[in-house]
Structure 1
Amino acid sequence: MRVIFTEELKQVADDLDRMAQEVHTAIVGAGKALLESDVEAAQNVIDGDLEIDALETSIINQCVQLLAKQSPVATDLRVVVSTLRLASTFERMGDLARHVAEIARRTYPESALTPETRETFEKMQAFLDATSAKLITVLSDRDDKAAEQLIIDDDKLDELHHQIFDIVNGANWTGTTQQTIDVVLLGRFYERFGDHAVSVARRLVYIVSGFDPSKAPKSKADDSANDPYLAAPAK
């Protein structure tokens, strides 16, 4: 019975790894569509979201069957329940990539970005390309230290998101009403990518350690024996 459970759990893990790879591809493709006004890349992301949705459904069904048939406990239960959460989070990231691609397709052949916001979005895209690639690695390797670093690094994306608002609210902003809406929405989509990446990283740390790390681990100067976990263990 244990052998069967291990094999079924490995299949779920393989599907989750594939889902992470599909999400990375979607994020890269959405960035290409937006920054290069590439309508073909936009359509590929939109069409590819169906595969991400299908993977989520498959993973959820497999996890439910594992819970029903195997009644896992302790670490095994933590892995199965966390996998359910991870699949849902990756599905949302796929949806966000589709939203970005849809805006790029709607504004084609023009860009949804104004000249003054392009550089900031290029930085945000480069950050997310790298982050989504790292998620694949930390997920397959169960690297909780790298996951903790991803959590901390999200502050960089938050700062870039704030820059978008500063530009739009600035005295020199000359964008149309539609451009303002698109830029603000896109900034929000990119910021949410980062939030979901943090959610994945936190869940990965929880799988490995049983603890839920804070976004801001305490420094060495703190009096908590350098404990990086500020939140109580997840129930």
Structure 2
Amino acid sequence: MRIKFHEQLDALTDRLASMCHLAGKAIETGTDALVQADLPLAERVFDLTEQIEALRGPCEEQAMVLLALQAPVARDLRQVVTGVHLVSDLSRMGGLARHVAASVRRRHPDHVTSGVTLELLARMGRVAGELAGLAEQVLRDRDPEMAADIGRRDDELDDLHRRLLTLIQDPSWTGSIPAAVDVTLLGRFYERFGDHTVVVGRRVIFLVTGEPLSP
């Protein structure tokens, strides 16, 4: 019975890691669409996020079944509870990538922005994709040291976000008000995506060590 239980736990973990992989692909594809003003790429993001949502239901159902029928305790209980929370985090990551793609679709065939602001957003997108890849690996390996490294890598994304906001608030910036709104929102989408990868890392640390999530 316990062997089957742990097989089910492993299956849940694999689905969660797949959700994270898809979220990383979605944010990278959305960034490519943003840089190239490429509508087909933007539409591809919506396909990817639909795949994320298709995994959400089975993950939630599997976690509830494990809680109801197996009555797990200690680390096993932490793993199931962590899985329930992770489903929401990973779904939100997909939603943020979808927001990036929606910005591209709304402004197509024009670019959402250009110049230094686009360069900064492109770098934010690359870092966000790397963070998602790291989070996926953390979910699969359950390595608390690697999980802690997500927070350190996210500092780079936060720095890029601050630089972006400073740039568009500078009186010498020549962009329009709609462009400023678009850039502000896009920066926030990337920054929040990174925050969710940090939460994934913290949840894995809780799973492995039992330490409560830090604020």
Q: CA shift at 1:172, angstroms?
A: 1.0
Q: Which amino acid aligns with 1:28?
A: E
Counterpart mapping for 1:136-155 below 5 A: 136-155=136-155
Q: Which amino acid aligns with 1:83?
A: G
Q: CA shift at 1:45, angstroms?
A: 0.5
Does the Cα contact within 8 Å between 2:112 and 2:179 map onto a contact in 1?
A: yes
Could you say what the CA RMSD is over the residues aligned between the two structures, in angstroms? 1.3
Cα separation, 2, equivalents of 1:194 and 1:117: 19
Q: CA shift at 1:120, angstroms?
A: 1.2
Does the Cα contact within 8 Å between 2:131 and 2:153 map onto a contact in 1?
A: no
1:211 maps to 2:206: no
Partner in structure 2 of residue 32 of structure 1: 32
Q: List runs of 5+ in structure 1 lacking aligned partners.
A: 215-230
Partner in structure 1 of residue 13 of structure 2: 13
Cα separation, 1, equivalents of 2:63 and 2:213: 24
Partner in structure 2 of residue 190 of structure 1: 190
Q: List runs of 5+ in structure 2 lacking aligned partners.
A: none
SS at match of 1:180: helix
Cα separation, 2, equivalents of 1:115 and 1:32: 15
Does the Cα contact within 8 Å between 1:43 and 1:101 map onto a contact in 2?
A: yes
Partner in structure 1 of residue 127 of structure 2: 127
Q: Which amino acid aligns with 1:131?
A: L
Cα separation, 2, equivalents of 1:156 and 1:4: 42
Cα separation, 2, equivalents of 1:146 and 1:213: 16
Cα separation, 1, equivalents of 2:27 and 2:212: 26
Q: Which amino acid aligns with 1:145?
A: E
What TM-score do you get using the length of structure 2 for normalisation? 0.95
Partner in structure 1 of residue 174 of structure 2: 174
Cα separation, 1, equivalents of 2:13 and 2:155: 29
Cα separation, 2, equivalents of 1:154 and 1:161: 11
Q: CA shift at 1:131, angstroms?
A: 1.2
Q: Which amino acid aligns with 1:113?
A: T
Larger radius of gyration: 1
Q: CA shift at 1:212, angstroms?
A: 3.6
Partner in structure 2 of residue 106 of structure 1: 106
How many residues in Structure 1 have an aligned counterpart in Structure 2? 215
Q: Which amino acid aligns with 2:19?
A: M
Stretches (4+) displaced over 2 A: none
Compare relative contact order (CA 8 Å, sep 6+) and give the higher one, 1 or 2: 2
